[in-house]
């Protein structure tokens, strides 16, 4: 049986303004610039700041002298009062001392695939074969590999272009494409790529012949660095095997990468959100606002509300609708600029707390001085929620006098030494890094040996924990670090 009932419930919901602040807080500097540009396009009330705020203040004073209109559905005086309009103005005076940056001009050269297409004209191919060759080249990825099998390309040609061919014909054309530059192009895997490059060299040299033999017949042993097995099977001494391996190491595993576009390279540059400078022993933090424009309200739209107010009861329905539209856009502009301001204040608050917590580290950049720190430590220090600290640290970078780092880099777990001192896992990783980089490459240190070294230094770390830290730093197991 269905029935209606009334219930009272207390719910917590985020206001549109709070949601806007949260979204802006997550954005790094470059994306914030794009978001501001989008807001400028969508909201005609917003405009870039070009001068001082005198015009806005004069307009405020003029509005204050007007009489009230009690019959309006909304009060223009209440909306355009002395406190509101200055809030539309957003200023930032925390530019760094090196704001004058000249961008170097760049030129866009031919792409990797365009270079391959140009070389096709130099091959002895018929018109029909050129069509097939262009389809094969089109399937080569940016690294220079042809990762699709010929049967799939053959099916594409049949269904998409109604071109009948067979695998033997495609293989013959592929062999010709593999003679193009750069050497190793159009290989199906790393082994074939390296072999194509070696076979273009002087195969009469003993080291090159050994290298080709290793890749053709013993690639699995080579990739796993079973050097003892290689020397035994090929009857080579240490010097011969070392020369052969050096020939392989000189090759390019990604032949297409050297033709990457200049534009795409430039777009990968890191733009820091914070700039930290050491001036006379004092740490000076500022936001990087070089590419973030200053905003204010467009007085043209403010004048529309002024005219509507002065017209009183004589205003038409169209004027009223226009005034309501302008009010809505002014609300949106105020919320947006307030959100940007709150974003700045929150970023500075959180970053200053991090710098205060890790002051010894930021003074000299010594990783050993980096203390254990988690999100909750900064949340307690600032009075903000942990989720807010997470949003600030995610995708943000800080430029210091000793390098540029991701903000979340400074957060690490803690671990106690045997004497009870709490140290950061960064310190342990640095010790591991020094041990691995200075080890005897003929006999690399195993995880157990690394664990023993740490225990000698009063760091009671288990072998499996050492393995986890080693993998996080990008080092392979001892066997794969072995050299001859």
Task: Write the pLDDT tens digit of every residue in 97-151.
Answer: 444 444 444 445 678 888 888 888 888 888 888 999 999 998 999 889 998 899 9
Statement: residue 354 has pLDDT above 90: yes
Burial of 98 (0-12, 13-18, 19+ CB in 10 A): exposed
**pLDDT surpasses 60 at 472:** yes
Distance CA 377, CA 424 (A): 14
Taking only the tens place, the pLDDT of each residue in 401-427 is 888 898 988 888 777 666 666 677 878
pLDDT, greater one: 249 or 3 = 249
Tokens of 369: 């001085």
Strand partners, 335: none
CATH topology assigned to domain 112-188: Arc Repressor Mutant, subunit A (1.10.10)
> What gap in Å lies between CA 47 and CA 39, rounded to an integer?
10
Percent of the chain with pLDDT over 90: 16
Task: Kindly state the tokens that stand for 54.
Answer: 């005198």
Task: Return the higher-pLDDT residue of 450 and 299.
Answer: 450
Say if CB 220 and CB 212 are below 8 A apart: no
In contact, 416 and 447? CB cutoff 8 Å: no
- In whole angstroms, give the CA distance from residue 61 to residue 58: 5
More confident site: 206 or 82: 206
Given this model, what pLDDT does residue 260 score?
A: 54
Q: How confident is the model at residue 461 (pLDDT cuts 50, 70, 90)?
A: confident
Asked whether the whole model's pTM tops 0.75, one would answer no
Average pLDDT value for residue range 60-79: 42
Extents of the domains making up the chain = 16-65+72-92+291-345, 112-188, 196-260, 274-285+358-481
Secondary structure element (H or E) that encloses residue 431, with its range:
helix 425-437
pLDDT digits (tens, 9 = 90+) for 288-317: 877 677 787 777 776 777 776 666 656 667
- Give the lowest-confidence range in 130-134, 142-146, 365-369, 475-479: 365-369
Angle at 309 between CA 307 and CA 310, to 5 degrees: 65
Q: How far is CA 376 from CA 143, 171, 411, in A?
A: 43, 60, 10
325-343 pLDDT per residue, tens? 877 888 888 888 888 888 8
Q: What is the mean pLDDT of residues 167-190?
A: 91
81/141: higher pLDDT: 141
Q: Which residues of 288-307 are buried (b: 16+ CB within 10 A; e: fewer)?
A: bbbebebbbbbbebbebbbe
What local confidence, expressed as pLDDT, does residue 340 receive? 86
Q: What is the predicted pLDDT for the residue at 62?
A: 38
Q: Give, in order, the Cα–Cα distances in Å from 297 to each of 56, 60, 270, 331, 359.
A: 8, 12, 32, 11, 40
In degrees rounded to 5, what are phi and psi of residue 292? -100, 115
Residue 85 has pLDDT above 50, yes or no: no
**187: which strand partners?**
145
Distance, in Å, from the CA atom of 322 to the CA atom of 319, rounded to the nearest integer, reads: 5
CATH 1.10.357.10 fits 274-285+358-481, yes or no: no
Fold matches, 112-188 and 274-285+358-481: yes
When the pLDDT of each residue in the chain is averaged and rounded to a whole number, the result is 79
Range with lowest mean pLDDT among 24-33, 277-286, 305-314, 321-330:
305-314
Comparing CA positions, the residue from 228, 194, 226 lying closest to residue 212 is 194
Residue of higher predicted confidence among 463 and 11: 463
Higher pLDDT among residues 67 and 436, named by residue: 436
Q: Which of 99, 186, 195, 203 is nearest to 146 (CA)?
A: 186
Residue given tokens 């009223």 in the structure block: 320
């Amino acid at each position: 049986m269905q029935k209606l009932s009334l219930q009272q419930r207390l719910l917590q919901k985020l206001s549109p303004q709070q949601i806007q602040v949260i979204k802006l807080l997550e954005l790094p500097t470059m994306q914030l610039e794009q978001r501001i540009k989008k807001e400028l396009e969508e909201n005609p009330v917003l405009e870039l700041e070009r001068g001082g705020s005198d015009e806005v203040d004069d307009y405020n004073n003029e509005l204050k002298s007007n009489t009230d209109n009690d019959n309006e559905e909304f009060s223009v005086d209440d909306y355009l009062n002395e406190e509101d309009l200055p809030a539309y103005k957003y200023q930032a005076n925390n530019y760094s001392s090196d704001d004058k940056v000249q961008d170097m001009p760049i030129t866009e050269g031919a792409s990797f695939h365009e270079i391959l297409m140009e070389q096709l004209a130099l091959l002895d191919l018929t018109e029909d074969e050129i069509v097939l060759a262009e389809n094969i080249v089109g399937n080569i990825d940016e690294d220079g590999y042809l990762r699709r099998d010929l049967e799939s390309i053959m099916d594409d040609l049949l269904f998409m272009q109604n071109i009948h061919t067979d695998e033997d014909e495609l293989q013959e054309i592929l062999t010709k494409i593999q003679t193009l530059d750069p050497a190793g192009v159009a290989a199906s895997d790393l082994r074939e790529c390296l072999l194509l490059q070696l076979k273009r060299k002087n195969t009469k040299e003993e080291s090159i012949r050994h290298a080709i033999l290793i890749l053709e017949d013993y690639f699995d042993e080579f990739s796993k660095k079973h050097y003892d097995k290689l020397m035994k099977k090929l009857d080579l001494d240490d010097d011969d095997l070392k020369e052969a391996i050096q020939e392989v190491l000189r090759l390019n595993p990604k032949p297409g990468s050297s033709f990457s576009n200049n534009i795409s390279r430039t777009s990968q540059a890191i733009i820091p959100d914070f700039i930290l400078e050491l001036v006379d022993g004092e740490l000076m933090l500022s936001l990087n606002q070089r590419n973030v424009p200053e905003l204010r309200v467009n007085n043209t739209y403010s004048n529309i509300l002024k005219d509507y107010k002065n017209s009183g009861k004589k205003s038409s329905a169209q004027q009223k609708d226009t005034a309501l539209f302008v009010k809505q856009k002014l609300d949106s502009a105020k919320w947006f600029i307030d959100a940007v301001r709150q974003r700045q204040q929150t970023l500075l608050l959180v970053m200053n707390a991090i710098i205060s917590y890790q002051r010894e580290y930021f003074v000299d950049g010594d990783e050993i001085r980096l203390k254990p720190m988690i999100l909750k430590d900064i949340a307690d220090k600032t009075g903000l929620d942990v989720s807010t600290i997470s949003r600030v640290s995610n995708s943000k970078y800080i430029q210091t006098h000793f390098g540029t780092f991701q903000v979340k880099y400074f957060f690490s777990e803690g671990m106690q030494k045997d004497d009870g001192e709490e140290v950061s896992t960064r310190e342990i990783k640095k010790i591991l890094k020094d041990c691995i980089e200075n080890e005897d490459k003929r006999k690399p240190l195993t995880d157990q040996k690394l664990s023993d070294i740490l225990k000698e230094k009063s760091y009671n770390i288990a072998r499996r924990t050492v393995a986890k830290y080693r993998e996080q730093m990008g080092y392979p197991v001892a066997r794969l670090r072995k050299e001859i």
